[in-house]
Structure 1
């Protein structure tokens, strides 16, 4: 028996032979054998094919039958109420499934929101059987690594469009946009703006599409200048609101695609000496705790964050047991929570225009 790194091989091709066959160095071949993530996807593919072709036998890094059933939850940050709701849902569903959960937050603090290199090595070392991602977007190489080592994973409300075949759970964003806009239309508003997050992200695009669909169904003219993006940033949302209020025909209502950005809208309205909802009705999206604490309390579209997280965990358990969900994308319904930030548009006297 010959040992190379932490992998054991029976009599047969050495790692040097495998490396030569794949056209890589021995250390690179060793990284692939030992499950290291710092290998380019194409290089990993060539080494894996050489391993299979030559019959190189690898011993698993851990005995999954003896290890506790662990899953990793990789989040972008633990500092937001959003993450708290997700953790609550995962915790309850994991308890029901007899799973232990490892939360990784410090590993995802890069500006890109991608998990930093090295966390996959730790995942293998502790023997995790699956991964949940929440607002943390793996790199192409990390996706390839998970697929190669057959570690199932599920995305919770992914920010970017996942690659084909990746399982994800999210909210019915299009319907949420429709519901928010229909609420404002029913109050009598026609000059309705929207402030979305990033351009071309799936959730924001779907919410804007719902907003546009509701306006079209009501026969209300769509105004390009009323569609703004603030990158999910509260300060940017405040600036976009000032720009909207400076228009020759400012909106009387605004649908904001996150509660956090809605707080920036409140700030801009106050800076103008105006009030919500007398001068501007505001609808948010998420139903985070601050939507209830702000004055006036925010009307918002509720995302079932805890339910989304629990659903993702249950899908992951099925995948860990060898099953495959019927659809890549699972959507849970949203609903409008009406509070005090919306009202019919104020009737202005000619002297006020």
Structure 2
């Protein structure tokens, strides 16, 4: 993604490009009828090409940040949103939620965001394309991406966590308990955060001499249903794993439900490690051992960074990674021996 932001187009900019007066451009912008159809069409096209939004008038306006989510709000996104709202309350920033450019082109969406007066956009685990980022830049709307599903370009500001290190810590915890036949249930294979968690986890196990067997790795989504389906698959194997690293809390909870349906107990029959440390981790039974990523802090950092960009200030780094940590609860224990192993 590239994200160079040009200066904001003005009526004068459009008038000069069209070879007409500022008054004529103003008439088109305001929907006046006393402009010839040919001139109107030319001016409207230039307004679009120059990403004219009409912003920047007089008066002081409350900053507004639009937060874009993919799919329904879930435990992960709720934690991030809480952090955004906490940070927004301090400077009195309004926060708007949206699903992004559903059914719209990048240009049309970016112009709509700009015309609505948004100071910046924060994208949360969303498929933010190069075209989306470039369109927002052309419309002079700063963008901050949290946990981008695809690697953000050098010019796009992003906030995430140390996913690779988190995968390593999950592997080390299970190895320390004596687990050597372990599985991984993760999100989409092309999601950057999923790749990092999986690579850290797999690399640490391989270094210890216990590579993850192909039948013990599955990549789907970060949702509960994927954990349920993945759990049913793993538990039906002739030699099930003794432990599973789940790429999200939702996957882990779905996996625990799959165990319950088959009369198996966690952690007596299967140890489970989640990733995120949302409220699900504390509320599920048993309470979930997790790799914690500071979701609320990620939201706070994203909001503050977005406001910094909106003010015209530069940022020290285009990608910020906050540290993960292992939180041991009751869902992990030394392995038991399965019949026939």
Shorter-chain TM-score bucket reads 0.7 to 0.9
Q: Which runs of 5+ in 2 are unaligned?
A: 1-8, 21-37
**Counterpart among 14, 18, 22 of residue 15 in structure 1:** 18
1:343 and 2:333 correspond: yes
Query: TM-score, length-normalised on structure 1?
Result: 0.79
Residue matched to 1:39: none
RMSD: 3.2
Counterpart secondary structure, 2:290: strand
Q: Is the contact between residue 64 and residue 127 of structure 1 (CA under 8 Å) also seen in structure 2?
A: no
**Counterpart among 94, 101, 110 of residue 94 in structure 2:** 101
Residue matched to 1:30: 44
Residues 196-215 of structure 1 show CA distances to partners (whole Å, capped at 9, x for unaligned) of 11012100000001111211
- State the alpha-carbon separation in 2 of the partners of residues 289 and 271 from structure 1: 23
- State the alpha-carbon separation in 1 of the partners of residues 243 and 237 from structure 2: 13
1:123 and 2:126 correspond: no
Cα distance change, pair 131–246 in 1 and its aligned pair in 2 (3 A): same
**Counterpart among 195, 201, 210 of residue 211 in structure 1:** 201
Q: CA deviation at 1:108?
A: 3.8
Residues 228-266 of structure 1 show CA distances to partners (whole Å, capped at 9, x for unaligned) of 112223223322222222333221000000111112211
Which structure has more RCO (C-alpha within 8 Å, separation ≥ 6)?
Answer: 2
1:321 and 2:311 correspond: yes
- State the alpha-carbon separation in 1 of the partners of residues 255 and 14 from structure 2: 69
1:183 and 2:197 correspond: no
Cα distance change, pair 150–10 in 1 and its aligned pair in 2 (3 A): closer
Map 1:275-290; keep pairs closer than 5 Å. 275-290=265-280
Residues 47-79 of structure 1 show CA distances to partners (whole Å, capped at 9, x for unaligned) of 68xxxxxxxxx7943327632222222233563
Query: TM-score, length-normalised on structure 2?
Result: 0.81
Residue matched to 2:80: 86
Residues 324-352 of structure 1 show CA distances to partners (whole Å, capped at 9, x for unaligned) of 2232211001111111111100145xx65
- State the alpha-carbon separation in 1 of the partners of residues 317 and 284 from structure 2: 38
Deviates more, 1:168-177 or 1:87-96: 87-96
Counterpart secondary structure, 1:102: strand
Q: Is the contact between residue 269 and residue 275 of structure 1 (CA under 8 Å) also seen in structure 2?
A: yes
Residues 11-63 of structure 1 show CA distances to partners (whole Å, capped at 9, x for unaligned) of 9647378xxxxxx9964752552xx5xxxxxxx4xx68xxxxxxxxx794332
Map 1:120-269; keep pairs closer than 5 Å. 120-269=110-259
Q: Is the contact between residue 115 and residue 136 of structure 1 (CA under 8 Å) also seen in structure 2?
A: no
Cα distance change, pair 132–236 in 1 and its aligned pair in 2 (3 A): closer
- State the alpha-carbon separation in 2 of the partners of residues 214 and 267 from structure 1: 28
Cα distance change, pair 175–65 in 1 and its aligned pair in 2 (3 A): farther
- State the alpha-carbon separation in 2 of the partners of residues 59 and 242 from structure 1: 52
Q: Is the contact between residue 196 and residue 208 of structure 1 (CA under 8 Å) also seen in structure 2?
A: yes
Residues 245-295 of structure 1 show CA distances to partners (whole Å, capped at 9, x for unaligned) of 233322100000011111221122122221111111000101111111111
1:309 and 2:302 correspond: no
Residues 80-106 of structure 1 show CA distances to partners (whole Å, capped at 9, x for unaligned) of 23232222211222233x24223223x
Q: Is the contact between residue 75 and residue 103 of structure 1 (CA under 8 Å) also seen in structure 2?
A: no
Deviates more, 1:302-311 or 1:261-270: 261-270
Q: Is the contact between residue 16 and residue 26 of structure 1 (CA under 8 Å) also seen in structure 2?
A: no
Q: How many residues align?
A: 317
1:61 and 2:55 correspond: yes
Q: Which runs of 5+ in 1 are unaligned?
A: 1-5, 18-23, 37-43, 49-57
- State the alpha-carbon separation in 1 of the partners of residues 14 and 176 from structure 2: 76
Residues 155-200 of structure 1 show CA distances to partners (whole Å, capped at 9, x for unaligned) of 1112222233100000110011111111111000000111111012
- State the alpha-carbon separation in 1 of the partners of residues 241 and 42 from structure 2: 59
Cα distance change, pair 92–141 in 1 and its aligned pair in 2 (3 A): same
